[in-house]
Structure 1
Amino acid sequence: MTTNMPRTDSHFAGQIPALYEQLLVPMLFAPYATDIAFRASALEPSRVLETAAGTGAVTRALAHVLPAHVEIVATDLNQAMLDRAAQTPIERAVTWRQANALQLPFDDASFDIVICQFGAMFFPDKTAAFAEAHRVLRPGGVLLFNVWDRIEENEFACIVTGALGRLFPDDPPLFMKRTPHGYFDRHAISHDLACAGFDSTPRIETIAQRSRASSANAAAIAYCQGTPLRNEIESRTGASLDEATSMCAEAIAARFGSIDIDGKIQAHVIAVQC
């Protein structure tokens, strides 16, 4: 599956990596990182590749649960995200490497597991990325990844997108719906995996979690300023980034209150064997 997404959708730089790690990791990614790390551990790998590692939420979870002899290689397209990941203490050696998931710089059949948390949605060619994962996996190896479910099942993201649509009615910023929450169809995922060379039937499990933030304002900053949604907002006229963030905070507060907020998030976890 090839998608035509703006280049800014996968541009994580500037202030985004720091805000991503500070706010989005605990809000969205930490619960699923723990889940996927334990799934990986149960497969008893000796060498693990992570693609789209971001600021290292899954990497740290893997480092915590995998035996010391297991080699962990963590990659991301954006060097700025890896630089931020390397700033956080980790309890064991990890190889950090800038790499494009569509052109992995690794030998054939060199990993037991390829893991990707919430990265597949950003791949402009999903089938090509899955084919690369298949290439570097050893026979019997497993591709283990997760993707967000549709935006309506993810409350904060849905509210933010709706608020921005009202603020910019002529050109609504649709990053969240288009990309993070744009690759949720189980049949499309299965089709892309089959086209990439995976002959076995993927196991797809839908898991709901809770997203928690200290305040509505913190959640709004996380989405509006800690993701590429920021790039869309800043490219528009009629309201500043701070004004857009404030409007989103008000919309979240109207539904969940101003402090100690808690909303539903939901994702698919997919495992497929070579």
Structure 2
Amino acid sequence: MADATAAFVGKIPENYDRYLAPLFFDAFAADLVGRLPVSDGMRVLEVACGTGIVTRRLVERLGGRGTVMATDLNEAMFAHARTRLPGPHDAKYRTADGTSLPFESGSFEAVVCQFGLMFFPDKAAGAREAFRVLTPGGVYLLNVWDALERNPVPRITHETIAKFFPSDPPRFYTVPFSYHDPGVLASLLRDAGFADVRCERVAKEGQSPSATEAAIGLVEGNPVYGEIMQRRPEALAEIEAAVAANLARELGDRPLRAPLRALVATARRP
């Protein structure tokens, strides 16, 4: 990806965690972590931990029975995650590229990745690395977004923003929703060596107190903000107001309820 769509910097991590966690991520974090089989002494690696939305749930689920190593390539997101789980026994943190992990082979009983694989420039390398660092019998749990047209909140946001830039629309929202074929995902995991591969479409619901608050997160809580600021910074407030109005028109307001669709995959290293 170009830098504009990859940069989670400035106030973006704070806005992402505040506004988008309840709107997009919390429900799927609970689903993904709930699939983790827990055993005493287990070591869990989280890849692409972002602001720690899944990390916090992993620590809670393990309940002191195991350890969590949370990794991310983006240091700004990483720094925010640390503020939410500051205790030395909560989780360990390390900057790491999911396609080239700095760990010995067979170091973890589980690898977890929420909505990260779509951003990997080499997805096959990401799957191979997850396989490599797992112990035999270890599990890989991950999710990716379903298609943009099956997720109305980002679809409405993307379409609304694009109307302000007819000749050069921001493209960030096309990236997270670009890897949505369950057959392709399952083949990726099998080709990496995984067995017992399961991939299913899962529906959840997110929520925001209002369409206005949702619009703040949707515009200022991810790299589309940088794309807008590069093009027409003076239009930011107008864009947010338009996003809020269109969300409220299609999905209601106070609260805004967001139908969500994702693919959830589980796999095991033989």
Q: Shorter-chain TM-score: which interval?
A: over 0.9
Tell me the CA shift for residue 146 of structure 1: 0.4
1:228 counterpart residue number: 223
- The equivalent residue for 1:13 is 9
Residue 38 of structure 1: aligned partner: 34
Partner of 2:168: 171
Q: Structure 1 176/44 Cα, relative in aligned 2: closer, same or farther at 3 Å?
A: farther
Where does residue 159 of structure 1 map in the other structure? 156
Distance 1:44 1:162, change over 3 A: farther
Q: Take 1:78 and 1:244, find their aligned partners in 2: how far apart are those partners?
A: 27
Structure 2 spans left out of the alignment, 5+ residues: none
* Distance (whole Å) between structure 2 residues aligned to residue 97 and residue 148 of structure 1: 25
Deviation at 1:239, TM superposition (A): 5.4
CA distance in 1, matches of 2:51, 2:238: 27
Q: Aligned AA for 1:158?
A: R
Match for residue 261 of structure 1 among 253, 256, 262: 256
Task: State how many pairs are aligned.
Answer: 268
Secondary structure, in 3 states, of the residue corresponding to 1:48? strand
**Where do 5+ consecutive residues of structure 1 fail to align?**
none
Residue from 244, 249, 252 that aligns with 2:247 = 252
- TM superposition shift of 1:269: 0.7
Percent identity, aligned pairs only, is: 38
RMSD: 1.8
Structure 1 range deviating more: 88-97 or 63-72? 88-97
| 1:74 lines up with 2:74 in the alignment | no
Instruction: After TM superposition, give the deviation of residue 197 of structure 1 in Å.
Output: 2.8
Per the alignment, in what secondary structure is the counterpart of residue 132 of structure 1?
helix
1:128: Cα distance to partner? 0.6
Say if 2:190 and 2:197, in contact at 8 Å, map to a contact too.
no
Q: CA deviation at 1:71?
A: 1.1
> Is residue 81 of structure 2 the alignment partner of residue 113 of structure 1?
no
Q: Distance in 2 between matches of 1:150 and 1:192?
A: 18
Q: Deviations over 1:198-239 (max 9, x none)?
A: 2x2520121111121111111111111101111222222485
1:113-160 CA-to-partner distances (Å, cap 9, x unmatched) read 110001111111100111111110111111110011111111110101
Q: TM-score, normalised by structure 1?
A: 0.92
Offset of residue 260 of structure 1: 1.0
Whether the 8 Å CA contact 2:85–2:91 is kept in 1: the answer is: no
Q: 1:52–1:101: 8 Å Cα contact kept in structure 2?
A: yes
The 1-side partners of 2:38 and 2:75 are apart by 30
Task: Verify the 8 A CA contact 1:20 1:227 in the aligned structure 2.
Answer: yes
Q: Provide the TM-score with structure 2 as the length reference.
A: 0.93
CA deviation digits over 1:31-60, x for unaligned, max 9?
111111111145777100000001111111
Distance 2:164 2:35 in 1: 41
